[in-house]
Each structure stands twice: as C-alpha cells, then as structure tokens.
Chain A
Amino acid sequence: NAGVTQTPKFRVLKTGQSMTLLCAQDMNHEYMYWYRQDPGMGLRLIHYSVGEGTTAKGEVPDGYNVSRLKKQNFLLGLESAAPSQTSVYFCASSYVPGQGIKPQHFGDGTRLSIL
C-alpha cells in the first residue's frame, strides 16, 4: 500500500536545465495536485488534474507544465529551471466520485535546488 510516491526525492539543477518530477498514486483517485512549499508561505497550488487527460492551472503555474496521460500518474515539468523554482514540491491525490469529500494524500516531496 504505497499511497502517493514521488520521484526523485532530491535533485540539484543548473539554471536553464529541464527536468520532470513524477508522481504515482495507487488509490484510484481522480484528482491529483502539485504544490510547492516555501518557508513561511505554506503550500501553494501549481497545477491540478480532475481526471485522466485533463490538467488546469493553479495559483503559481508560471514556468511549469504538467501531464496526466494515465490516471495513476501526474508529471510536473520544468522546461528551463530558474533559481526562483528552488523549493520542495509535493504531489497529492484525492476524491473518488460518490464517496464525498476525502482528505488529500501527500507524497513525501521532492527537494529541488536550482543553482
């Protein structure tokens, strides 16, 4: 029972490099989210998906792209990394239709440093 798994756990990039963060969930959840966590700011929503093949922007989407080709996976891409994107990234999933509101389950995060 893995829940939400994020890979990689740590990564250091140089400015301008690209990378993809992978999130996988095994709970058959419809909704998936990417948040970033910065000191003193809580978690902020980057992008989200309400089902396979759908994505939408959150509050801080600039510089990021996402894809949800399979229901269980949600990918977050950085096309050209910038130092301002140094953060801890969390993926979360929730909601099975017909079961009412359910808590979001979070992965353990990806710690990303952009030099």
Chain B
Amino acid sequence: QQQVKQSPQSLIVQKGGISIINCAYENTAFDYFPWYQQFPGKGPALLIAIRPDVSEKKEGRFTISFNKSAKQFSLHIMDSQPGDSATYFCAATLDTGRRALTFGSGTRLQVQP
C-alpha cells in the first residue's frame, strides 16, 4: 500500500520555467513533510520541509504548498536552472516513535538550457 503518491514520474522544464511536483498522502497522522533532492550517485539530501499547520513555506526558489483538507502537498521550483536537474522525493513522517520516512516514488526533473 503506497501511503504517499507522487507525480509526475518525470518532468522536463526549460531554463527559467517553473517546475511543479505533486504528492498526496493517506495517513492523516503524518505531521512532517520533507522534500529530498537526489543527484546521481549520491544519497537524498533535505531540500525543504513543512508542517501541516502551515499552508506554504518558501526558501529561495523553492516553495512547498500544503493543503491539509485535500491531503496534498506540492513543490514549486521557480526560475528552474540546469543545476536543479535531479530526482526529487516527497516524504512524510511522524514526529514521534520511529520517525521513519515514507517516501513517494520520485520525480526525475530535467531542466534544459
């Protein structure tokens, strides 16, 4: 059972464009929603994260939008750059217990120059 569904599987964006990746979750107990960025041959690295009491969080060119009632959240990358080309994973977890991450299936982003 996939508790976090992510789309699209792959995305091609022109330099300067907006990249949008969407995720939906099932477990309403989740209380922390991070996005991870992964480059080839490397492990995932935290990009930005949000808690469900906030509808939006922005860090530089990266913004998370969160819709608690719809159980959805999305990552927006403004002014996308070729250096942003990577695989992006949304995730969800509980801030108690084992604190393990439940990951989406990933989105491979390619930003063309």
Is the Cβ of B49 less than 8 Å from the Cβ of A107? Answer: no
Is the Cβ of B98 less than 8 Å from the Cβ of A56? Answer: yes
Is the Cβ of B101 less than 8 Å from the Cβ of A104? Answer: yes
Q: A45–B99 Cα gap in the complex (Å)?
A: 11
Is the Cβ of B95 less than 8 Å from the Cβ of A58? Answer: no
Is the Cβ of B99 less than 8 Å from the Cβ of A108? Answer: no
Give chain B's interface residue range (CB within 8 Å of chain A): 20 to 34
Q: Which residue of A lies closest to B106 (CB)?
A: A42
Choice from B6, B45, B98, B106 contacting A106 with Cβ under 8 Å: B45
> Which residues on the A side are within 8 Å of B6 (C-beta)?
42
Given contacts A4-B43, A43-B103, 15 further A-B contacts (CB under 8 A): A31-B98, A35-B103, A42-B4, A42-B103, A42-B104, A43-B89, A44-B103, A45-B102, A90-B44, A95-B99, A103-B46, A103-B49, A106-B43, A106-B45, A109-B43
